[in-house]
């Protein structure tokens, strides 16, 4: 597993600050992901199809709102994926004392 090495004259304080920042960002990402999933759920219920299937098989013509609704659903889907990836990356960070 690759390591990132940070140098500081105040290691205890730096660890505390970085840990708090990581926790804050994790909470922000979880909240944003929850909101995104709620928005995706509305589309999925309306059209009775999963977002994954929508992205693979549907086009704007398949939706009532046409282009705008398609762009909103697709954008929300991509946002949800990016948030999940960032949260996974954040969760993979571990503090290791040397």
Q: What is the pLDDT of residues 31-62, one digit of tens each?
A: 999 999 999 999 999 999 999 999 888 876 77
Nearest CA to 5 out of 95, 87, 90 is that of: 95
pTM above 0.75, yes or no: yes
Count how many domains the chain has: 1
- If pLDDT is split at 50, 70 and 90, which confidence band does 98 have? low
| CB-CB contact of 59 with 52 (8 Å) | no
Tell me the three state secondary structure of residue 10.
Answer: coil
| CB-CB contact of 51 with 73 (8 Å) | yes
Domain region containing 39: 11-91
97 lies in a domain? no
């Amino acid at each position: 597993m690759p390591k990132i090495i940070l140098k500081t004259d105040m290691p205890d304080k730096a660890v505390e600050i970085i840990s708090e920042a990581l926790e804050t960002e994790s909470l922000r990402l979880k909240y944003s992901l929850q909101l995104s999933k709620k928005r995706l759920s509305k589309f999925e219920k309306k059209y009775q199809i999963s977002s994954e299937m929508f992205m693979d098989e549907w086009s704007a013509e398949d939706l009532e709102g046409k282009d705008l609704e398609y762009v909103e659903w697709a954008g929300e889907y991509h946002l949800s994926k990016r948030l999940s990836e960032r949260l996974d990356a954040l969760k993979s960070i571990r503090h290791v004392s040397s």
